[in-house]
């Protein structure tokens, strides 16, 4: 416990010290390149852009720093502590690095170009293709290196699904990577939701005496605490796609490593709801050629109808807290 708390404090202090100069760097890059912009392209999401007008000058890319801090501190822990499970840590760090690098394409384009609309960088189809490849690689690592091949469903029991574990895990990783990215739209929303989820998984890892996973989560929690100070309304920095994709995919891997896939879905309940609201909108537009909501995902719809941004965020945090408690309860009674 002493080591865990020390890692939380170390991660918090390091992130807090580096965040201000990193924000200054992003502001400097944004000012340098915004004067060399060409004509803006027509937006695919005009209503979304109107609602986000006040955030145009806030730099994005805080996730780049957080991912680097997580990788450095976690790798350092593996060298200093011989009890660390290096297989699990390699899978976690590979997930962070691979999905973070994928999102970095969007972050760089945001810094270097003027943008309108939600989708940019590699484009949706290419982005999804790369996500599928990375997710299957990570799922194969979990199966072959981690020896995971089962799924536990509360009330039904444990099921050995052998190689079917790979496509199932890949689907979970892709789903949470995109769900987290979709939720990253309001000041403090996604980081706060993630922080609540991580406390639940810290309890699960501690109950299982998984030192490696608990230490990794502790480092992550410390970094998020420091980041959230600068990300709550009115935000001084946004996470960006490098952090969003990396954090969503890694949250999925944390859940898979605990063996609690159903608990993952419940603990991350608000991410599921946000992603589902966006998915409904997409299918409605594709199949019925009309929108169900004036704007999706759900939190942006609430802002559109007049809810204050801090109210939306705080109420989503409260709902997420109850989902985390429910998921944690189900995980602990299904030992």
Distance CA 148, CA 142 (A): 6
Alpha carbon distances (Å) from 63 to 96, 98, 160, 231, 255: 10, 13, 36, 11, 21
- For 283-322, the pLDDT digits (tens) are 888 887 788 888 889 999 999 899 999 999 999 999 999 9
- For 137-175, the pLDDT digits (tens) are 999 999 999 999 988 777 777 788 999 999 999 999 999
**What is the average pLDDT value for the chain, to the nearest integer?**
88
Alpha carbon distances (Å) from 199 to 195, 202, 208, 234: 6, 5, 14, 25
Percent of the chain with pLDDT over 70: 89
pLDDT for residue 282 is more than 80: yes
């Amino acid at each position: 416990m002493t080591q865990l708390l020390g890692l939380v404090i170390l991660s918090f202090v390091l992130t807090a010290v580096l965040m201000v100069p990193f924000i200054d760097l992003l502001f400097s890059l944004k000012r340098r390149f915004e004067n060399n912009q060409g004509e803006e392209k027509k937006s695919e999401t005009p209503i979304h852009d109107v609602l986000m007008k006040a955030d145009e000058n806030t730099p994005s890319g805080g996730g780049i720093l957080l991912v680097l801090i997580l990788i450095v501190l976690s790798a350092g822990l593996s060298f200093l502590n011989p009890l660390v499970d290096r297989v699990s840590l390699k899978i976690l760090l590979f997930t962070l690095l691979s999905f973070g690098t994928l999102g970095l394409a969007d972050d760089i384009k945001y810094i270097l170009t003027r943008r309108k609309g939600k989708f940019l960088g590699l484009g949706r189809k290419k982005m999804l293709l790369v996500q599928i490849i990375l997710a299957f690689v990570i799922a194969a690592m979990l199966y072959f290196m981690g020896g995971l091949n089962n799924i536990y469903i509360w009330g039904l029991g444990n099921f050995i699904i052998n190689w079917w574990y790979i496509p199932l895990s890949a689907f979970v990783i892709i789903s949470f990577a995109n769900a987290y990215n979709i939720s990253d739209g309001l000041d403090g929303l996604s980081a706060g939701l993630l922080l609540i989820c991580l406390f639940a998984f810290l309890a699960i890892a501690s109950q299982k005496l998984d030192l490696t996973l608990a230490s990794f989560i502790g480092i992550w929690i410390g970094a998020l605490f420091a980041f959230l100070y600068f990300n709550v309304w009115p935000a001084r920095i946004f996470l960006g796609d490098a952090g969003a994709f990396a954090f969503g995919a890694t949250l999925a891997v944390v859940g898979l490593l605990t063996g609690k896939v159903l608990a993952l879905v419940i603990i991350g309940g608000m991410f599921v709801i946000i992603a589902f609201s966006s998915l409904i909108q997409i299918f409605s537009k594709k199949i019925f050629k009309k929108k169900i909501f004036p704007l999706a995902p759900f939190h942006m719809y609430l802002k559109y109808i007049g809810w204050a941004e801090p109210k939306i965020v705080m109420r989503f945090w409260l709902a997420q807290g109850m989902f985390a408690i429910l998921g944690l309860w189900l995980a602990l009674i299904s030992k």
